[in-house]
């Protein structure tokens, strides 16, 4: 799959349908030349509707489809015939998609379930026919309502990946390597910074046919919360993760300092991220002997931690055990 196939932000122009006008028809039959009003109501204009689809993982299909239009409602007719409704237009999106107003940035709704539907642009109401206006004092109303006009405007669709575990670390910390080893995901891997330029998702299989989803985002650099590097664009993807797995290589100059920088970037981006469960994995630990590990343990932050090596397959079973324990802590209590 081409690497440019991941799109997590689109701005689209949505236009709903006009409501149909009500009818001013009067009943006319052979033996009833002066029947009463029988004009039907106009049909509702079509809505533009956003629908969740668990088979999608990107907004790529909307990248070159910027203008979305729904159908117009039909006018009412004689014999109390209501006009047909305008055809609704559906926009299918991945789970975890946020819809916002394109002008104000206000969050309108989010789609988190397969098949969930939300109206992003409401169609105009159909006008009432003259039959609706008859009364004892006005038995031949010669007027009806026009249908409501359509609504249009720019909307923003923004994807936040739904995953159980989010990998947090500086570039080249071994996040993509870990994901490739313990899941079926095949992210691009290299021995240089910023190999990962877009999020990757992987399904990690655990004991007894259980599993959890892990998300790898591009490496964070100091200042990511303010837009440096790729961090600002992708930090939102870990807002939905239940657990954050911090990854710092064993050859780091100062593991504690790196952890504090990463934690501070998350805090500055969204303070609520600090309330999430955290685990620290020291990667590339195959270069350490037992004495060095014991020495490093004294300097590690006071959170659950583990030494691993994706290449040497070291500590990965224990890591999955630790992750599963924290993901299901409530259920195990």
**Residue ranges of domains in the chain, CATH in brackets:** 1-159 (2.70.210.12), 165-332 (3.40.50.300)
CA 151, CA 154: separation in Å to the nearest integer? 11
Q: Which residues fall within 8 angstroms of residue 27, CB to CB, at 6 or more apart?
A: 35, 36, 37, 38, 78, 79
Q: What phi and psi values does residue 90 have, to the nearest 5 degrees?
A: -105, 135
- Are 232 and 264 in contact by the 8 Å Cβ rule? The answer is no
* Residues of the chain where predicted confidence (pLDDT) is lower than 50: 1-3, 189-197, 224-231, 331-333
Q: Give the pLDDT of residue 28.
A: 83
First to last CA, the chain: 42
- Are 74 and 40 in contact by the 8 Å Cβ rule? The answer is no
Strand duo 117-121 + 48-52: pairing: antiparallel
Burial class (CB in 10 A: 0-12, 13-18, 19+), 52: buried
CA 268, CA 305: separation in Å to the nearest integer? 24
CA 131, CA 24: separation in Å to the nearest integer? 8
CA 291, CA 178: separation in Å to the nearest integer? 24
Q: Give the pLDDT of residue 221.
A: 57
Report the SS3 class of residue 89: strand
Between the CA of residue 51 and those of 48, 77, 90, 117, 239, what are the distances in Å? 10, 33, 7, 4, 22
The pTM score is 0.72
Q: Give the pLDDT of residue 224.
A: 46
């Amino acid at each position: 799959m081409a690497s440019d196939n991941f799109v997590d932000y689109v701005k689209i122009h949505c236009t709903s349908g006009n409501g149909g006008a009500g009818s001013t028809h009067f009943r006319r039959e052979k033996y009833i030349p002066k029947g009463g009003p029988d004009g039907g109501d106009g049909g509702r204009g079509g809505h533009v509707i956003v629908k969740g689809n668990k088979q999608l993982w990107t907004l790529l299909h909307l990248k070159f489809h910027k203008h979305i239009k729904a159908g117009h409602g039909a006018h009412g007719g004689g014999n109390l015939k209501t006009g047909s409704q305008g055809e609704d237009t559906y926009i299918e999106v991945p789970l975890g998609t946020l819809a916002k107003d394109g002008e104000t940035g206000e969050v309108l709704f989010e789609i988190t379930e397969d098949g969930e539907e939300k109206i992003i642009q409401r169609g105009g109401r159909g006008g009432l026919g003259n039959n609706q206006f008859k009364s004892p004092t006005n038995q031949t109303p010669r007027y009806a309502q026009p249908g409501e006009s359509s609504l249009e405007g720019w909307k923003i669709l923004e994807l936040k990946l739904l995953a159980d575990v989010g990998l947090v670390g500086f570039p080249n910390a071994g996040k993509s390597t870990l994901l490739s080893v313990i899941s079926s995901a095949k992210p691009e891997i290299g021995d240089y910074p910023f190999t990962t330029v877009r999020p990757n998702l992987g399904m990690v299989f655990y004991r007894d046919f259980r599993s959890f989803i892990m998300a790898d985002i591009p490496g964070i650099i100091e200042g990511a919360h303010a837009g440096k590097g790729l961090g600002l664009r992708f930090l939102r993807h870990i807002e939905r993760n239940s657990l954050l797995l911090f990854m710092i290589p064993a050859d780091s100059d100062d593991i504690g300092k790196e952890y504090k920088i990463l934690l501070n970037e998350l805090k500055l981006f969204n303070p609520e991220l600090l309330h999430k469960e955290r685990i620290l994995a020291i990667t590339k630990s195959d270069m350490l002997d037992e004495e060095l590990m014991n020495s490093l343990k004294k300097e590690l932050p006071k959170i659950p931690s583990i030494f691993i090596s994706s290449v040497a397959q070291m500590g990965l079973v224990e890591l999955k055990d630790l992750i599963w324990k924290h993901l299901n802590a409530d259920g195990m209590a």
